[in-house]
Chains A and B, each alone.
Chain A
Amino acid sequence: MAKSKLFTMNEDRSLYPELDVNGKPIVDLTSHKYVKIWQGPQHPGVTGNMSLELTISGDEIVESKTHVGYLHRAFEKLLERRLFVQCMPTSIRLCVAEPDTNEYVISNAIEELGNIEVPEMAQWLRMLSLEMARLQVLLRQVPGQAGTFALGLGYQWGSYIRDLILDSFEELTGGRVYHMYIIPGGVRGLLPDGFKARLLEKLKLIDEFIPKIDKLIFNNVVFESRARGLAYIPKEWVDEYGIYGPASRGSGVSRDVRKTNPYLKYDQLDFEPFVTTEGDVYARTEVRRADLIMTVDLIRQILDKMPEKGDIKAETPNVLHWKIPKGETYSKCESSRGEYGMYFVTDGSAMPRRVNLKGPSYTHANALLDKLLINANIADTAAIMVSLATCPPEIER
């Protein structure tokens, strides 16, 4: 079992089940030494509807099994019965917290297979909306990590600023949560008058917010002692389990699609994703804190470098009978949770033949979470889930 140098287990293992050759605990429920409890499937906030079947011994988890299937949506199948443009309103619901990444990956796949070149202005606006989406997620998630240890104050502060960012989304896209801004061929509007100045003003609030949460959370002995050493992910697991985004960068592996496969205009921006090697919940929170600062910086760079005017949408065939030749592609981008991709197959008809979404939550919430919860304290379950940023809609697509 992997352990951090800070993490200490109860030395006396006599009360805990023995492990079989595969490292799985041998649990005999009739021995009355173990209790099975369920966490979920009610919606606990950022982590969505899924359920953990936990076997506990005392307050320590000895076995965990993730159960999904409470959303009943089959969106991928629904998309096979939609015209390409009609896929958009459905696709944004694939991940509620950060719908823009869905808009981007599906539009990008359609454009790639349909041979559409997106105008430069639209590419900058797409990048802006993607970074704004990341920003509003991180504003909840960074302080939200402390919220899982019952420190809710930072979450309230973050939610306030997030609401202001959603106001900006409302101005830019006409929607607060489901933006429907990126569309095959381009985007649905230029920046409104005065938008840039208003957004820059809001970013200043985040500059003030960072030192406040530093004091509240990162210089907090309770948070530190609970988060340090918790749910340690060794570097070698990153490849083994398919870990992406902040979770991999917390364990010393720099994985960021924006750097490794620059899309849109990311190659014109100056940034370096933060990497640390601690591998625990604290490290992942630190990575997200650095991401928050980096996102603010990226938005400032985008607003600074983007052109003033330009075409927002390329000419596409009539959307009512747009047929795309037979082909397949994998379109990906970096979401706040890590690499977010879509495998998209067309067969020459006016609807997709197969859509398959691949988000980081599938591996994070199933294989990895099952493993990390073993020997964790039951009170830390929520913290571990949040640190992996699991998103059930992305698992049950």
Chain B
Amino acid sequence: MDLKKLLTPFTAWGNITKDPVTIKDPFNERPGADRYRGFHKNDIDQCIGCGTCEVICENEAIDLVPVSDSKDGDSGLRPMIDYGRCCWCALCVDICTTNSLSLSNEYTWVSTDPEDFRFVPGVDKKDWDNNEKGWKKPDNYEFYSLKRVHMDELSPEERSDSFIEMMKGYSKEQAQQEADRCVQCGICTATCPAHMGIPEYIKAIRNDDLEEGLRILYDTNPLPEICGRICTHKCETVCSMGHKGDPISIRWLKRYIADQNPSEKYKEILEVENLQPKGKKVAIIGSGPSGLSAAHYLALMGYEVKIFEKLEAAGGMMRYGIPEYRLPYDQIDKDIDYILSLGVEIQYNVTIGKDITLDQLGKDYDAVFSGTGLHLGRSTGIPGSDNKHVYASPDLLRWIVEGKEFEVPESVVVIGGGNVAMDITRSMARLQMVKYGKVQVIATALETEENLPADLEEVVEGREEACIINAGWAPVEIEIKDGVPTGLHVVKCNSLFDSEGRFNPQTDPNVKEFWPGTMIIESIGQGMDLSYISEEFKTKLEFGPRGRVQTDEYFQTGVEWFFMGGDIIEGPDVIHGIANGHKAAVGIDIMLNPEKN
């Protein structure tokens, strides 16, 4: 036996003189590390209740529960964590679309009530709510792409002298890549006036089942080609992906589905080949989005539908108000032709109130739906605005569609900063480019640059096309020389609304400018023309603020057989019109079949 090896281990006795290294837990405070994955925190102002945390939790420890405080673009739900199931992996934090969820570095918590360990972070106050430390999603680390897939478009040079559609559409790869970003929270569906099944049709794109996608679109929206191009996309405004990155390109994805399905196959895909007639008739006034939508859903229910249209083509504002480079006519026709193929009849060039009275329609048909839209231009009423060379934008836009001849001047001033103003500005720029090879259009808006009511892309693209868009100027006077305008005097506009939120522009008369132009176009909003309703008939209707007729939830007016919808009731935009038309169709069905309900 090796004596040395017998004795050496006893050197460990040297430790007797050393201090112990152990920590006297739990009596000593030992905070978790800065990244420690402890109990949950939720920034309730940021959270939108999208529910991705609930989806990713493999332990099913998270349930979304209703809370009293919620805001716009919010599901009204908040995550409740069950610590009987949670494994503190923090995948919920990493996937959170708003970065509201995080973990504190607290790890000790004693309670005698087991129910305490199931709570809604942020709502049920906890000691660690203000603890800044703990797990947060690392930087440069995402579970999905935050960047929107770019859609190819015509360059400013290619498009500046042509009305060819500017956006080229998504390829299959691009659409699938964009569809992949969706987390299927459904806040878009709740926000869309038509409550379209957005997550479902995006899923259909991911699965490359575009026929299913078309069926989902037509459940709630019979104008997908149109909406896929020019919808005001309130869905994208609230998209949960928009909180950290770009919102999903919902509008372009809808267009992709509609574009990829050939119109010849629509009836087969949508299974509408054997509609059973009900033997009842409905008249529709106006072939805009609300009228077409009502016609579509009524036709599907088996009603005999006839549309009365004042102009010589169908589509209303979609055709006569939106320039062709945003919405080509063949795409409008694709949607409308399908609706007509369901047996919907349409009569053009007929004005209600003139060619046929509303009362007569009421006698000839079981129900009447009116969606006549906002076609009257509003005037600023400033000195000089009564000159014949001062135009209203709806008239000019309609003339361009109708091909009516009018003098395109070398210099134009547009008053207005909304989407319609951008439409006429960019249309005039194109016409000038064709005629003169150069552009001189100035659009002037009351609102400041940040608050321009037009979509940002419209402003950016307009400027790319050499239009001048000046924000924050109030029109004062149109200078007229020899009966022809020479330009517009403006002063600086500092604010639009007073402290109580009323429209009350504050201008600074000392900061002045003069925009030269021999044609002035007013584009500050549109009004409705209800002259087709007789005064006697109007007494039976109830009018609300801004001259709008009051309707019930099914858009039924005070006259039982008379329904109204679209821009004259809600909006103005296409998707509200579609939603109104659909709801009114349901209302008409309920009215005509009381026994069924």
Mark A residues whose CB is within 8 Å of B.
82-83, 85-86, 88-90, 151, 153, 160, 167, 170-175, 178, 180, 186, 188-190, 192, 212, 215-217, 219-222, 224, 311-313, 315-321
Within the complex, the shortest CB–CB distance from A194 to chain B, in Å, comes to 11
Closest 7 CB pairs of A and B: A86-B58, A318-B144, A89-B89, A221-B5, A174-B35, A174-B37, A170-B33
| Cβ-closest chain A residue relative to B37 | A174
Q: List 14 A-B contacts (CB under 8 A).
A: A82-B58, A83-B56, A89-B91, A160-B22, A170-B32, A171-B35, A174-B103, A178-B88, A189-B35, A216-B9, A219-B5, A318-B144, A318-B182, A320-B183
Within the complex, the shortest CB–CB distance from B128 to chain A, in Å, comes to 15
CB interface residues, B 133-158, toward A, < 8 Å: 135, 138, 140-145
Partner of A174, one of B36, B55, B183, B184: B36
| Cβ-closest chain A residue relative to B2 | A221
Mark B residues whose CB is within 8 Å of A.
1-2, 4-6, 8-9, 11-12, 21-22, 32-37, 52, 55-56, 58-59, 87-91, 94-95, 103, 135, 138, 140-145, 180-184, 203, 206
| Cβ-closest chain A residue relative to B57 | A86
Given A171-B33, A175-B37, verify A319-B56 contact (CB < 8 Å). Answer: yes
Cβ contacts under 8 Å, B56 to chain A: 83, 85-86, 319-320
Partner of B140, one of A167, A222, A311: A311
A190 and B9 CA atoms in complex are apart in Å by 42
A153 and B184 CA atoms in complex are apart in Å by 56
Cβ contacts under 8 Å, B140 to chain A: 311-313
> Are A318 and B35 in contact, CB atoms less than 8 angstroms apart?
no
> Are A188 and B141 in contact, CB atoms less than 8 angstroms apart?
yes
| Cβ-closest chain A residue relative to B13 | A153
Cβ contacts under 8 Å, A320 to chain B: 52, 55-56, 95, 143-144, 183-184
> Are B33 and A215 in contact, CB atoms less than 8 angstroms apart?
no
> Are A319 and B144 in contact, CB atoms less than 8 angstroms apart?
yes
> Are B5 and A190 in contact, CB atoms less than 8 angstroms apart?
no
| Cβ-closest chain A residue relative to B147 | A315
Cβ contacts under 8 Å, B89 to chain A: 88-89, 178, 180
Instruction: List 11 additional A-B contacts (Cβ < 8 Å) besides A86-B91, A90-B58, A188-B141.
Output: A85-B91, A88-B89, A88-B91, A89-B59, A160-B21, A170-B35, A174-B103, A219-B8, A221-B5, A317-B180, A320-B183
> Are B180 and A321 in contact, CB atoms less than 8 angstroms apart?
yes
> Are B143 and A180 in contact, CB atoms less than 8 angstroms apart?
no
Cβ contacts under 8 Å, A215 to chain B: 8-9, 11-12
Partner of B87, one of A89, A172, A186, A224: A89
Cβ contacts under 8 Å, A167 to chain B: 33
Cβ contacts under 8 Å, A315 to chain B: 142, 145
Cβ contacts under 8 Å, B4 to chain A: 219
| Cβ-closest chain B residue relative to A317 | B180
> Are B138 and A188 in contact, CB atoms less than 8 angstroms apart?
yes
A215 and B7 CA atoms in complex are apart in Å by 9
> How many cross-chain pairs have Cβ atoms below 8 Å apart between A and B?
116
Cβ contacts under 8 Å, A160 to chain B: 21-22
Cβ contacts under 8 Å, B203 to chain A: 321
> Are B5 and A171 in contact, CB atoms less than 8 angstroms apart?
no
| Cβ-closest chain A residue relative to B1 | A221
Partner of B36, one of A170, A189, A212, A311: A170
Partner of A319, one of B8, B21, B95: B95
A88 and B89 CA atoms in complex are apart in Å by 9
> Are B91 and A312 in contact, CB atoms less than 8 angstroms apart?
no
| Cβ-closest chain B residue relative to A146 | B9
> Are A173 and B9 in contact, CB atoms less than 8 angstroms apart?
no
Cβ contacts under 8 Å, A90 to chain B: 58
| Cβ-closest chain B residue relative to A184 | B143
Cβ contacts under 8 Å, A318 to chain B: 143-145, 180-183
Cβ contacts under 8 Å, A321 to chain B: 180, 203, 206
Cβ contacts under 8 Å, A311 to chain B: 140
Cβ contacts under 8 Å, A89 to chain B: 58-59, 87, 89, 91
> Are A312 and B8 in contact, CB atoms less than 8 angstroms apart?
no
> Are B143 and A312 in contact, CB atoms less than 8 angstroms apart?
no
A189 and B183 CA atoms in complex are apart in Å by 23
Within the complex, the shortest CB–CB distance from A66 to chain B, in Å, comes to 30
Cβ contacts under 8 Å, A189 to chain B: 35, 138, 141
Given A172-B35, A174-B135, A317-B180, verify A224-B5 contact (CB < 8 Å). Answer: yes
Cβ contacts under 8 Å, A192 to chain B: 33-35
Within the complex, the shortest CB–CB distance from B10 to chain A, in Å, comes to 9
Cβ contacts under 8 Å, B135 to chain A: 174
Given A318-B181, A321-B206, verify A174-B11 contact (CB < 8 Å). Answer: no
A311 and B181 CA atoms in complex are apart in Å by 21
Within the complex, the shortest CB–CB distance from B183 to chain A, in Å, comes to 6
Partner of B12, one of A216, A222, A317: A216
| Cβ-closest chain B residue relative to A122 | B141
Partner of B90, one of A82, A180, A222, A316: A180
Cβ contacts under 8 Å, B145 to chain A: 315, 318
| Cβ-closest chain B residue relative to A168 | B33
| Cβ-closest chain A residue relative to B8 | A219
> Are B33 and A153 in contact, CB atoms less than 8 angstroms apart?
no
> Are A312 and B138 in contact, CB atoms less than 8 angstroms apart?
yes
Cβ contacts under 8 Å, B138 to chain A: 188-190, 312
Cβ contacts under 8 Å, B58 to chain A: 82-83, 86, 89-90
| Cβ-closest chain A residue relative to B21 | A160
> Are B8 and A220 in contact, CB atoms less than 8 angstroms apart?
yes
Most buried by B among A83, A160, A175: A175
Cβ contacts under 8 Å, A85 to chain B: 56, 91, 143
| Cβ-closest chain B residue relative to A224 | B5
Within the complex, the shortest CB–CB distance from A301 to chain B, in Å, comes to 25
| Cβ-closest chain A residue relative to B38 | A174
A295 and B60 CA atoms in complex are apart in Å by 38
> Are A173 and B35 in contact, CB atoms less than 8 angstroms apart?
yes
Within the complex, the shortest CB–CB distance from A323 to chain B, in Å, comes to 9
A144 and B12 CA atoms in complex are apart in Å by 16
Within the complex, the shortest CB–CB distance from B253 to chain A, in Å, comes to 14
Cβ contacts under 8 Å, A173 to chain B: 35
> Are B33 and A312 in contact, CB atoms less than 8 angstroms apart?
no
Cβ contacts under 8 Å, A217 to chain B: 9
A160 and B32 CA atoms in complex are apart in Å by 18
Given A85-B143, A190-B138, A312-B138, verify A220-B180 contact (CB < 8 Å). Answer: no
Most buried by A among B6, B8, B36, B141: B141
Cβ contacts under 8 Å, A222 to chain B: 9
Cβ contacts under 8 Å, A86 to chain B: 56, 58, 91
A83 and B52 CA atoms in complex are apart in Å by 13
> Are A313 and B9 in contact, CB atoms less than 8 angstroms apart?
no
Within the complex, the shortest CB–CB distance from B141 to chain A, in Å, comes to 5
A173 and B138 CA atoms in complex are apart in Å by 11
> Are B5 and A175 in contact, CB atoms less than 8 angstroms apart?
no
Within the complex, the shortest CB–CB distance from B142 to chain A, in Å, comes to 8
> Are A153 and B12 in contact, CB atoms less than 8 angstroms apart?
yes
| Cβ-closest chain A residue relative to B182 | A318
Cβ contacts under 8 Å, A313 to chain B: 140-142
| Cβ-closest chain B residue relative to A86 | B58
Partner of A212, one of B12, B52, B141: B12
A88 and B206 CA atoms in complex are apart in Å by 24
Cβ contacts under 8 Å, B11 to chain A: 215-216
Within the complex, the shortest CB–CB distance from B175 to chain A, in Å, comes to 14
Cβ contacts under 8 Å, A151 to chain B: 9
Most buried by B among A153, A189, A190, A318: A318
| Cβ-closest chain B residue relative to A90 | B58
A220 and B135 CA atoms in complex are apart in Å by 46
| Cβ-closest chain B residue relative to A323 | B206
> Are A174 and B33 in contact, CB atoms less than 8 angstroms apart?
yes
Cβ contacts under 8 Å, B95 to chain A: 319-320
Within the complex, the shortest CB–CB distance from B6 to chain A, in Å, comes to 5
Cβ contacts under 8 Å, A175 to chain B: 36-37, 88
Cβ contacts under 8 Å, B143 to chain A: 85, 316, 318-320
Most buried by B among A174, A178, A192, A220: A174
